[in-house]
């Protein structure tokens, strides 16, 4: 499965930061932790971690490492789960998807 790079679309294993989105793939866990932490601190204070299939557990781990070790004030705003049809060699197959929206508390 090869995808062209467009806004909001990634190749497997690539960290893409656009509009506060980090696509969790095959890279080491800390690559995504650092990308999300930098975007939270210097970006807009809102990040969406997106993953599908076997990478869902890694996205959960990214959110937990951020919250427990790096940014304790971080808030998990929303968790969305779903299914997406993915083209494989054997035809279309459903893949589980998850989006975790995390943010920093609003400054008063």
Q: Which pLDDT score is estimated for 15?
A: 55
pLDDT value at 100 more than 80: yes
Rounded to whole angstroms, the Cα distance separating 39 from 41 reads 6
CB atoms within 10 A of CB 13: 12
Map out the domains of the chain as residue ranges: 17-103
Q: And the tokens for 39?
A: 């975007």
Helices (H), the chain: 29-42, 56-65
**What angle, rounded to 10 degrees, do the helices at 56-65 and 29-42 form?**
50
Q: Which pLDDT score is estimated for 61?
A: 98
What pLDDT digit, counting tens, does each position of 26-42 carry?
A: 999 999 999 999 988 88
Q: What top-level class would CATH report for the domain 17-103?
A: alpha beta
């Amino acid at each position: 499965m090869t995808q062209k790079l467009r806004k909001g679309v990634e190749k497997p294993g690539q960290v893409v930061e656009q509009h506060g989105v980090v696509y969790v793939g095959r890279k080491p866990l800390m690559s995504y932790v650092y990308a999300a932490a930098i975007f939270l601190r210097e970006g807009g204070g809102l990040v969406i971690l997106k993953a599908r299939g076997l990478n869902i557990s890694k996205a959960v781990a990214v959110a937990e490492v951020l919250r427990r070790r790096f940014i304790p004030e971080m808030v998990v705003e929303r968790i969305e789960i779903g299914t997406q049809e993915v083209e494989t060699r054997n035809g279309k197959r459903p893949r589980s998807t998850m989006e975790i929206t995390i943010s920093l508390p609003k400054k008063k």
